[in-house]
Structure 1
Amino acid sequence: MNEIQFIDSVAELQDLCQKMKSEPWLAIDTEFLREKTYYPKFCLLQIATLEWVACVDPIALEGHLDELFSIINDPAIIKVLHSCRQDVEIFYQLSGKLPAPVYDTQIVAPLLGFQENTGYAMLVSGFLNINLSKIHTRTDWSQRPLSAEQVQYAADDVIYLAQIYQMMQQKLQALGRQDWLKEDFEQLMNEELYDIPPENAWLKIRGKNKLTGKQLAIVQVLAEWREQVAKKDNRPKNWILRDELILDMAKLQPDNLQSLSEIRGMNDGFVRRSGKQICQLIVKAKDLPGLKLKSKGSNKKTQQQEAVLDILTGVVRLRADENSLNPVILATRKELEQLILDDQDSPLLHGWRYSMVGQELQELLLGKVSVSIDKQSLSLQAIE
Structure 2
Amino acid sequence: MTLITTTDHLAAFIDRLKGADYVTVDTEFMREKTYWPQLCLVQIGGPEEAAAIDPLAPGIDLAPLFELMRDERTLKVFHAARQDIEIFFHLTGSIPKPLFDTQVAAMVCGFGDQVGYETLITKLTPARIDKSSRFTDWSHRPLTERQLTYALSDVTHLRPAYEKIRRRLVKTGREHWLEEEMAILTDPATYRLEPEDAWRRLKVRTEKPRFLAILKEVAAWREREAQRKDIPRNRILRDEALVEIAAHAPTNVEDLARTRGLGGGMANGRQGTELLQAVSAALAIPDKELPRPAPRVETPQGLGPIVELLRVLLKMVSDENEVAARLIANASDLELIAADDDADVPTLKGWRREVFGEAALKLKHGRLALAVTGKKVKLVELPG
Q: TM-score, normalised by structure 2?
A: 0.86
Matched, 1:378 2:370: no
**Hey, what's the Cα distance between the residues in 2 that align with 1:233 and 1:350?**
44
Matched, 1:243 2:235: no
Between the aligned residues of both structures, percent identity stands at 32
**Hey, what's the Cα distance between the residues in 1 that align with 2:307 and 2:348?**
16
**Hey, what's the Cα distance between the residues in 2 that align with 1:363 and 1:247?**
42
Partner of 1:298: 298
Partner of 1:264: 260
Q: Which residue, 230, 233, 237 being the options, matches 2:229?
A: 233
Partner of 1:111: 108
Q: Are the structure 2 counterparts of residues 86 and 373 from structure 1 closer, same or farther at C-alpha, using a change threshold of 3 Å?
A: closer
Unpaired runs of at least 5, structure 1: none
Deviations 1:131-156 (A, max 9, x none): 43232222221222211111111111
Deviations 1:272-314 (A, max 9, x none): 3311221221122123343222234236x322x3455355445
**Hey, what's the Cα distance between the residues in 1 that align with 2:143 and 2:172?**
42
CA RMSD of aligned residues (A): 2.9
Q: Which residue, 13, 17, 25 being the options, matches 1:16?
A: 13
**Hey, what's the Cα distance between the residues in 1 that align with 2:329 and 2:91?**
37
Partner of 2:82: 85
Q: Are the structure 2 counterparts of residues 281 and 235 from structure 1 closer, same or farther at C-alpha, using a change threshold of 3 Å?
A: same
Deviations 1:24-43 (A, max 9, x none): 11110011112222111111
Unpaired runs of at least 5, structure 2: none
Number of matched pairs: 373
1:184-263 correspondence to structure 2 within 5 Å: 184-205=181-202, 207-263=203-259
1:119-138 correspondence to structure 2 within 5 Å: 119-128=116-125, 130-138=127-135
**Hey, what's the Cα distance between the residues in 2 that align with 1:267 and 1:8?**
46
Deviations 1:16-61 (A, max 9, x none): 1112221111110011112222111111100113532111111226
Which one-letter code corresponds to 2:291 in the other structure?
Answer: L
Q: CA deviation at 1:374?
A: 8.1
Deviations 1:304-340 (A, max 9, x none): x345535544542442242135656643433312445
Is the contact made by 2:79 and 2:117 (CA closer than 8 Å) also made in structure 1? yes
Partner of 2:274: 277
1:347-362 correspondence to structure 2 within 5 Å: 348=347, 353=352, 356-358=355-357, 360=358
Partner of 1:322: 320
Which one-letter code corresponds to 1:27 in the other structure?
Answer: T
Q: Are the structure 2 counterparts of residues 211 and 50 from structure 1 closer, same or farther at C-alpha, using a change threshold of 3 Å?
A: same
Q: CA deviation at 1:103?
A: 1.0
Which one-letter code corresponds to 2:248 in the other structure?
Answer: L
Q: Are the structure 2 counterparts of residues 133 and 350 from structure 1 closer, same or farther at C-alpha, using a change threshold of 3 Å?
A: farther
**Hey, what's the Cα distance between the residues in 2 that align with 1:361 and 1:251?**
47
Q: Are the structure 2 counterparts of residues 379 and 63 from structure 1 closer, same or farther at C-alpha, using a change threshold of 3 Å?
A: farther
Q: CA deviation at 1:349?
A: 5.7
Partner of 2:41: 44
SS in 1 for 2:34: coil
Q: Are the structure 2 counterparts of residues 328 and 85 from structure 1 closer, same or farther at C-alpha, using a change threshold of 3 Å?
A: closer
